[in-house]
Amino acid sequence: MKHLLLLILTVCGPTALALPADSDLPIQISADAGTVNETEGISTYSGNVTIDQGSMHISADEVEVIVADSEVIQITARTNKNSARLAHYEHQPEDTDSPVLAEARLITYMVQEERLHLSGQAMLKQMSDSFSGEQLYYDVNQGIVDLKSGDADGDRIQMVINPKQK
């Protein structure tokens, strides 16, 4: 377990989502329980999980980290079916004073592609703008948000886009 945790701490560093200095900081994982499968490259943490690295913060009922070729490929955060809370993700981009906040039942962060997929009551807040729908796809590098509504009648996406300050 210590070996994979060390591997995760080493290879998660180069993520570009957070402030540049964040990648030099250690990753801190806190949970009620954890299982690490070094052979498969998968670690699963459950019970009020928090992951922090500088300005990046993830919290959920369960988090799965997938490592391949000594690099973190994917982080998946989810809430239990009956949980009242949502999985939470935030980071501080270097070009703004406001953090990017995301919440959903399921958050999948593709580390190398720098993309977030949110599913189930998805919400993203970026500066004073907000986006919500059943599914939300966010390309961090390009700043592209793609929203989908649910299948039920009346399900709609919601956006609030504020004009730039003069």
The pLDDT value recorded for residue 19 is 57
State the average pLDDT over residues 115-133: 94
**Is 90 exceeded by the pLDDT of residue 3?**
no
DSSP-derived secondary structure for the chain? -HHHHHHHHHHSTT-SSS-GGGGGSPPEEE-SEEEEETTTTEEEEEEEEEEEETTEEEEEEEEEEEEETTEEEEEEEE--TT-SS-EEEEE--TT-SSPEEEEESEEEEETTTTEEEEEEEEEEEETTEEEEEEEEEEETTTTEEEEE--SSTT---EEE-PPPP-
Per-residue pLDDT band for 13 (boundaries 50, 70, 90) equals: very low
The pLDDT value recorded for residue 20 is 58
Q: 6 or 138: whose pLDDT is higher?
A: 138
Query: What's this model's pTM, rounded to 2 decimal places?
Result: 0.83
In order of their start, the domains of the chain are 2-160 (2.60.450.10)
**Is 60 exceeded by the pLDDT of residue 4?**
no
